[in-house]
Amino acid sequence: MRKIGLWILFLIFSVNAFSADFTLTHLSNGEPSNNRYPGIGENEKGERLVIWRSGNNRGMLFTYFKDGIWSSPAPIPHQPKTDGVYLGSDIVVDSADRFHVVWELMDDLVYYATFKDGVWTNPVKVPWPARYEGFQISLDIRSDDELVIVATCKYERKYKDITIGYLEKGETNFSRFKNLTDDKESSSSAAVAVDDKDHIWVAYKGEVFGQAEEILETCLFHLDQDNALVDFTEVSEEQGGWAFLQWVAVNDNTSLVMVTWWLRGGFYSRWYNQSTETWSPIHSIGVNSERHPDFSMWSKVVAQGNDFYFLAKDSSHHLYIVKFNGETQAWETPILVYDEPTVYFDIYPALGNLLIAFCTREGPTQVYFTSLAGTPEAPKIRVKSAVNVRVEPSIERSFFRGLWINHVTWENNPYNVERNVTIDYFNLYRKLKTETTYGSTPHQANIPASQLYFDDKDGIQATLLHDYAVTCVATINGEQVESEIEY
């Protein structure tokens, strides 16, 4: 392959309506030894983050994409441990454009840190309730920015179990762990997806004993918004055999839940329609891979628009992407991403694009980035509440008496300004300082967008008794949306 500055590889295909034009960016350029196991994410500003394991005991490296430029690779600061066998990682982004990152030291530890505007928080060790067993880590985020993590843990017996944990907005580490598969059979290879109702879907490999042969099934938990169990499904039960390396994604536009796995030399899928509460038959995805000695038959599925996209290697370790057409509900022809053997990879559904990071197989292994046009979709437009809400008590004097007023001022949220979100009007909420939450009805509604103050004269005394919050109302896709009150 020719090398001119950056390696550039053009692969132009036309497969149904899905085509690809790949250009490679060498992210680990200049880094010695083997660079492996990348993870990738992008926020709504178009800023991208890629992490990977260094090859010279520097721990996890990262590069940051902003204003069209990738930063030079550098270690994530203040890593508690930089040596060991790193493997999986995962990245999600919250509503404030902050990256949330987890990475694992196989059969040892998981670390969590966040990244925003070029600055990392100090990594912390995830406090699993039992020994972490590694090999696959998965993370997703709810509408209120609560993180959900799943992994394999080994409790005080020989069997492995799937453990789930949570991290609410404002917390610094995961807690409220629960053993989802507390039984006498081993489970591993967990992946998690959150839908638009904040329900949780956890796919994993479950072992079934007591039959003529040991069976490894693809299983799926469904939890509701309160983390209570809704349903459990043995997704690949009819196949028998040994199913490995499960993944799951949810498409909120079509209400489909896509589950994927490897079994007997190929990758398979099955999807659940939440609207009709029905399962599809099992379908081959179209990429074949023999069982490798290191069990590196990795894959990942993501949702975008009305479609899904699946990334996996074939038996020769060549990387392919496959589109699931949401209209026809069928997998299209696989497209080759890279024509040399690869080791590990990650895919992230950005706005209208699919971002891919992968590492080569021939040493010294290197990390590359590429992207392709995915399914066009409307941007996720949000509106956020006003900031810097201040209250200044004052007295308004008349001929006969003085009247106390709370002069309330505020500023539009920079988030709205940066994204050109047009505010229709403000709503002002009031609560007593002794109350913990605001009511559902505004104290004063429909304050013009040009007015950044309100004089509250209702029941005001010399002593400040009230707190105030100001929400923003904007018209998005023809509907008025009110921002949430942030405590």
CA distances from 109 to 59, 82, 129, 355 (A): 13, 12, 12, 27
* Contact by Cβ (8 Å): 220, 248: yes
CATH number for the domain formed by residue range(s) 387-482: 2.60.40
Structure-token pair, residue 436: 């913990």
- Taking the C-alpha atoms of residue 159 and residue 143, their distance in angstroms, rounded to an integer, is 34
pLDDT score, position 273: 97
- Taking the C-alpha atoms of residue 187 and residue 135, their distance in angstroms, rounded to an integer, is 12
Q: Which residues contact 158 (CB under 8 A, 6 or more apart)?
A: 186
Region of 343 (left: φ > 0; alpha: ψ -120 to 50; beta: rest) is alpha
CATH number for the domain formed by residue range(s) 13-373: 2.120.10.10
Residues 246-279: tens digit of each pLDDT: 999 999 999 999 999 999 899 999 999 999 999 9
Sheet of strand 353-360, all strands in order from the earlier edge strand to the far edge: 25-26, 367-373, 353-360, 342-349
Q: Is the Cα torsion angle 419, 385, 303, 172 positive or negative in sign? A: positive
pLDDT score, position 20: 64
In this prediction the pTM is 0.79
Q: Name the residue among 44, 99, 45, 95 with its Cα closest to residue 384.
A: 95
Give span(s): CATH 2.60.40, the chain: 387-482
- Taking the C-alpha atoms of residue 286 and residue 55, their distance in angstroms, rounded to an integer, is 33
Q: Name the residue among 475, 444, 477, 474 with its Cα closest to residue 458.
A: 444
- Taking the C-alpha atoms of residue 103 and residue 186, their distance in angstroms, rounded to an integer, is 23
Task: Name residues of the chain where pLDDT drops below 50.
Answer: 1-17, 212
Strands (E), 290-411: 299-304, 307-313, 319-325, 330-331, 335-338, 342-349, 353-360, 367-373, 387-397, 402-411
Calculate what percentage of the chain has a pLDDT beyond 90.
67
pLDDT score, position 381: 65
pLDDT score, position 461: 83
Q: b/e string for 127-148 if b means 16 or more Cβ within 10 A?
A: ebebebbbbbbbbbbbeebbbb
Q: Name the residue among 40, 41, 224 with its Cα closest to residue 142.
A: 224
Give span(s): CATH 2.120.10.10, the chain: 13-373
